[in-house]
Amino acid sequence: VLARTRNKSLKLEKDEKGIDIGDFVPATTYIGYDAERDIVVGAVNIRHYLNDMLLREGGHIGDGIRPSERRKGYATEMIRQALEICKNELKINKVLMVCDKSNIGSAKSIIKNGGILENEFFSEEENEIIQRYWIEL
């Protein structure tokens, strides 16, 4: 399901190499692709390590699924594959993922991949309760 884009934009290349990213950290973006249907279903962004902001609210992996493709198991599979990349390529053995408490689908996908809820907190920036999950690899 996950594939690196062959024709990366200059921004994605810089993000991956950590060039001109300001307060962010190096990150690699993968596209979720259903080859049988020839359709992009979503994307995941894997942060190579955490800074203070990501440790609080962002996590190692961010994902998004096209609205028409939600509730079909893509997020769970894309997270599974992203965790393999974290473990095998980035040598990360404990991954943080976060989601809005109201995003039940995201929480389910994280839990199906071994996510253990550490805590919840109210984010004034998001105006939402944020859940923080850790996944041991």
Q: Residues 56-70: pLDDT tens digits?
A: 989 999 999 999 999
Q: How confident is the model at residue 128 (pLDDT cuts 50, 70, 90)?
A: very high
> Which of 55, 58, 64 lies closest to 30, judged by CA?
64
Token output for 66:
């096209």
**Average of pLDDT values for 119-131?**
94
User: Which pTM does this prediction carry?
Assistant: 0.91
> Which of 42, 37, 50 lies closest to 77, judged by CA?
42
**Average of pLDDT values for 5-30?**
83
Please give the pLDDT value at position 25.
Answer: 96
Please give the pLDDT value at position 121.
Answer: 96
User: Residue 78, class by beta-carbon neighbours within 10 Å (0-12 exposed, 13-18 middle, 19+ buried)?
Assistant: buried
